[in-house]
Amino acid sequence: MKVVTLRGLGLALATATLLQLGGVSAHAEELQVTIDNFTFTPAELKVKVGDTVTWTNHDDIPHTVVSAGKFRSKAMDTDNSFSFTFTSAGDYKFFCSLHPHMTGMIKVE
């Protein structure tokens, strides 16, 4: 799996390190959204400020993840990923800019 943003990679390493230290509850969590059959799963996800969400495309067709004015991935080919760390609360609607009928939402508390 390729993690596209360095920021996401950094957090992934940080989380891994915390887990190795005996599962001290990490403030920032890593959450996953998968893309299968032109569908985001889960379609809606609740996270906390500081959490990182990683989208991974399992389709044979490229997809993107775009939240207007907030974040925009490059085209993700099969098994490519994109990560974003949410630093402020709010509802982040997102969609695939190639197949705009694919939509989802991250609720950040």
Binding positions for other proteins, rule: CB under 8 A: 37-39, 59-62, 66, 68, 74-75, 77-78, 93-95, 97-101, 103
Nearer to other proteins, 48 or 58 (CB): 58
Nearer to other proteins, 93 or 107 (CB): 93
Minimum Å gap between C-beta 102 and other proteins is: 8
Nearer to other proteins, 27 or 38 (CB): 38
User: Using the 8-state DSSP alphabet, how is residue 20 labeled?
Assistant: H
Question: Using CA atoms, how far apart are residues 57 and 47, in angstroms rounded to an integer?
Answer: 20
Nearer to other proteins, 11 or 82 (CB): 82
CA separation, residue 47 to residues 7, 50, 88, 92, 107 (Å): 17, 8, 11, 11, 6
Minimum Å gap between C-beta 55 and other proteins is: 15
Task: Tally DSSP H helices, then E strands, for the chain.
Answer: 1, 9
